[in-house]
Structure 1
Amino acid sequence: MHLRMLRSISSQVSHVLAPHTSNSRGISSVANPLPATFLRGGTSKGIFIRRSDLPEDPAEWTPIFQGIMGSPDPQYRRQLNGMGGGVSSLSKICVVGPPSSPARASEVDVEYTFVQVGIEDGVLDLSGNCGNLSSMIGVFALDEGLCAARNVDEQNQLATVRSFNTNTHKVIDTTFPVSVLGGKHIPVLDIPQVEMAGVPGKASRIVLQFVNPGGARTGKLLPTGNLTDTLGLISDTDSAQSTIPVSLVDATNPTVFVSSRDLAQVLGFKEDLLTVKHYSSPEVEALLERIRQAGAERMGLDPSAKAQPKIAVLSESAGDADILIHAFSMGVLHKAVPMTVGLCLGVAAGVQGTLANRIVSKARSSRPGASQGDMVKIRHPGGVVEVGAQFGEDGTVLNAQVLRTGRRLMKGVVWW
C-alpha cells in the first residue's frame, strides 16, 4: 500500500514539474527538475537516474550533474547548493537503463554508468565504478520496472539482478530479499539481518558479487605483471628522489597499495607510527598523491584522473582483523573504505607475494584456526568489513563478494 501511494505521489509530482524543460544552461530537451531517486548503498549515497531521462551523449551530462550536486565549489567544498555532501562518498550519480544491445540483453538484466562528480572542480570522472552504490542497482532497476528479477528463490524470498557496469565492462550480481506485490517482486530493505560498519542499525542483507573482477581498467589483475613494483618519487621542493615498494592491483577498480611501514621510512620516521592525524596532514596527502600518480603511470593509466586509480595504505591490525587499511578517495582520507578498494584488497590478499598477502598471511599465522581461504577481515577507520574472493586453478579471479545494506531515501525530482 505504501509503495503504491509513493508511486502515485511521485507520478503526480513528475507530471506537474517535468514539462518545465527550459533552463539557464541551454539544454532545453532535458527536464528541469529531473526525475531521480536518492539512495544509500553501503557507506555511500547517490542520485540514481534513468538513462532515458538524460541526453544520449554523455558529454552533455556535465552541467546537469554539476547542478544536481552543487559543483564546482572550490571555496567552501560543501556543495550546499546541491545534493552533494562535500565528501567523495556523497558526490555520486548512477545512470541506469536496460541493456544497450541485444547480445548483452541475453546475459544481463540492466546496465549502468557510475559518475564521480568533483567537489571543487565539478569534473565528471567515469573512469571507475563504485562498489557501494553498485549494491543498489538491482533495487533501483526493480523499483523502476527496468527489468524483472532472475534466479528468484521463492522459498527464501530472494532475488538476483545481474548488471553490466559500463565504466569497467564488468558484470555484477546483487541478491536481496523481495516480497510479491501485484505479481511483481519488490525489494525489501528493512529486515534487521545485517549491521555494517559505518551505518547505524541493521538492515536487509545484500550480497554484492563481482564476476571475473580482474583487469577492470587495465585488462590485467597485475597490470605490470609484478607482485610488487618500486616507484621513484621526486620531491616537489627539490631534485631529491626516493623509492617506495607498492603492489599495483586491478580488481573491481585499480588500486595502488603501499605499506605504512614503507611510507613512514620515506617520511623519515624511525618506526611505523603513522596515525589518522598523520594521514590527514598536507605533507602525507601530497606524498600519497605523488605515489598514486607514479603508480597510475606504471599501470598505463592517466595520472591526472583523480578518481582512478585509488591509493590505500596497509598496516598490521590488532585483534581478530587480518589487515588495517587507510584508503584515500579524490585525495582525501576516506572515513571507511571505498568498497571497490576493499574488494580489490580482498583479491590482492589471495595473490601470494603482494604486500596485502604478506600482511594477511602473517596475521593468520599467529591466530589459531585461521585459514588462508577464509573471508578477509579488513579493519578501516569506521569498523570491520569482510570480503571474499574465489580463484580458479590457473590463478584467475572468478569472483569477489561482500555484504552490504541499503536504504531508499527519496524519490521524486531534483533541480539542476
Structure 2
Amino acid sequence: MRLSSSALRHPNPIPASFLRGGTSKGIFLKRAHLPTSKADWKPIFLGIMGSPDAEYGRQLDGMGGGVSSLSKICVIEPPTPEQSKRHIDIQYTFVQVGIKDDSVDYSGNCGNLTSMIGAYALDERMCPATRNEDGRARVRSLNTNTQKIIDTTFPVSESGIPILDSPEATIAGVSGQASQIVCEYIDPAGARTSKLLPTSHLTDQLDFDLPDGKHASITASLIDATNPSVFVLSDDLRKLGVDVDNYIIGKESSSLHVTKALEAIRQRGAQAMKLDPTAQAQPKIALLSLPNTDSDIPNKVDVVVHALSMGVMHKAVPMTLGLCLGVAAKVEGTLASLIVQNARQLSGSQDDLIRIKHPGGVVEVGAEISEDSKVESAKVVRTGKRLMKGVVWW
C-alpha cells in the first residue's frame, strides 16, 4: 500500500495502551496522536496490526493475533461541547482491521472492547471520576460508529483509579476472576439502519445460491440492536445439505463449503437491510440452535449460538452480537424468541436474563423493552485488564 504524505509525516511510534476487554484485545489510541484527517489513518492502523498478512494470516509483524477478536483498535477523544451538554464523558471510534487483506472497517462497534473505554479514559485523565457510595464510577461514552450511548460502571479507588483486579466476576472464555464491568447500551435499536427490524419483518426469506450452484432459500431474522445481525437456524441449514455439524467442530473438509454458503446468506441479509454486502464486519451472521446437551437444560441455557466474524467462526460470541441476540429473544416472533420459548418450556426458567451458550461457555444478557415495544437498553457483564502501556510502531 502506498502511504499518504500526511501519514508519512506523522510520528512513528505513537503512544498506545494494549488492553483486554471481555474476550477481545486491542490497541487504544488518543485521536490527538493521529493525523487530523481520518483518511490518513488506514496505513497507520494496518501497520500497527501487521496487516495485510495474505500468506500466513498471523500478523506477526504487528500487534494483531491472527483472529478478528485480536485485530482491533479504539480511538478515544474528549466529547464535543454539545456532547458534554448531553452528559457524555468521552467519545470513541472502533476500528476492525483486516487480517489477510487491507480492510479497515468503521461500520460497527465492539461490545468487548467497549467495556474498557471508561477505564482507559480515567487512566488517561480524559474525564473526571465520580465515585458513588459503592466505590464504583460510571462513565458515559458515545460510540461514533453507531452514534449510540453506552454506560460502563466499574470499581475505582478513592483517587479515581479504575480497579480491575477485584475477584468479582468471571466471564466465559477468560480464565480467573476480575472486577465486574457492567456495560449498558442505551436505546440500542437501529445502530446502523435506524430500525430494530430493518425490513419491518420478524422473519424474512433469503434466496441464495449454494456453493454447488443450487438455488436455495432460508428463513432469517434480521435484527439491528447494538450491531446489525443475521440469525438463521442450524436445523434449516442441515435441511439444505449444509454440513453445519462438522463445520462447528472444525473439520477442514467442510469449512470452505459452509463458509461460502454462510457468506452468501449474510450478503443477502445485508442487501435486505440496505447495508453494504461486501463489508464483512457488518452485519454479522450467527447460527442458532436449541439447547442440545445433557447439561444445557439443568444449566437453564436458553439458546445456543455459533457466530462468524470477518468470515471466520468465532471462538466466543462477539458481544454486540450477543446483546443483539438478547434483544431479539425478547421480541415475539423472531427465530431467537421461538427458540428461547421452546427451551424454557423444558427448563422451566423464568429468568429475566437470556442465557446464551457459545463455544467459549455461557453469557447472560439483559434487555429492557417498554410497553410500547421500544428497546430501552441492553446490558451485559464484562471484565478487563491492562496489558501494556507505551508506544507502538507502525
Normalising TM by the smaller chain, what interval?
over 0.9
Residue 105 of structure 1 pairs with residue 84 of structure 2 = yes
Secondary structure, counterpart of 1:86 in structure 2? coil
Q: Give the corresponding residue for 2:12.
A: 32
**Higher radius of gyration, 1 or 2:** 1
| AA at the equivalent of 2:390 | G
Amino acid at match of 2:215: Q
Contact 1:91 1:119 in 2 (8 A): yes
1:95 to 75, 81, 89: 75
The residue that corresponds to 1:394 in the other structure is 372
1:264–1:273 CA contact under 8 A, matched in 2: no
Cα pair distance change 1:268/1:236, threshold 3 Å: closer
Q: Do structure 1's residue 186 and structure 2's residue 161 form an aligned pair?
A: yes
Secondary structure of the equivalent of 2:275? coil
Report the secondary structure of 1:328's partner residue.
strand
Give me the whole-angstrom Cα distance separating, in 2, the residues matched to 1:268 and 1:253.
Answer: 26
Q: 1:231 aligns with which of 191, 195, 206?
A: 206
Match of 2:276 among 302, 314, 318: 302
Aligned twin of 1:241: 215
Q: Counterpart of 1:167?
A: 145
Q: 1:20 aligns to what?
A: none
* In structure 2, distance between residues paired with 1:278 and 1:353: 33
Structure 1 match to 2:240: 266
Deviation string, structure 1 residues 154-213 (Cα, Å, up to 9, x no partner): x210000000000000000000000023xxx11000001111110010000000010000
Matched, 1:340 2:320: yes
Q: Which residue of 2 aligns with 1:71?
A: 51
**What is the Cα deviation at residue 79 of structure 1?**
0.1
Matched, 1:221 2:196: yes
Q: Deviation digits for residues 325-358 of structure 1, max 9, x if unmatched?
A: 0000000000011000000000000000000000
**Normalising to structure 1: TM-score of the pair?**
0.89
Hey, what does 1:375 align to over in structure 2? 353
Q: Which amino acid aligns with 2:283?
A: P
Change beyond 3 A, Cα 1:63–1:273: closer
The offset of 1:275, in angstroms, is 4.0
Q: Is the 8 A contact 1:260 1:274 kept in 2?
A: no
8 Å CA contact 2:16, 2:27 repeated in 1: yes
SS at match of 1:179: coil
Q: In structure 2, how many angstroms separate the alpha carbons of the residues matched to 1:268 and 1:172?
A: 38
| Alpha-carbon offset, residue 28 of structure 1 | 4.5
The alpha-carbon deviation at position 59 of structure 1 amounts to 1.0
1:55 maps to amino acid? P
TM-score, structure 2 normalization:
0.94
1:98-145 CA-partner distances (Å, limit 9, x unpaired): 01x321112200000000000011210000000000000000000111
Matches within 5 A, 1:200-219: 200-219=175-194
Change (3 A) 1:409 1:274: closer
In the alignment, which residue of structure 1 is the partner of 2:41?
Answer: 61
> Which sections of structure 2, spanning at least 5 residues, go unmatched?
none
Q: Decide which moves more: 127-136 or 357-366.
A: 357-366
Residue 64 of structure 2: which of 76, 84, 87 is its match? 84
- Map 1:15-30; keep pairs closer than 5 Å: 26=5, 27-30=7-10
CA distance in structure 2 between the aligned counterparts of 1:109 and 1:254, rounded to whole angstroms: 26
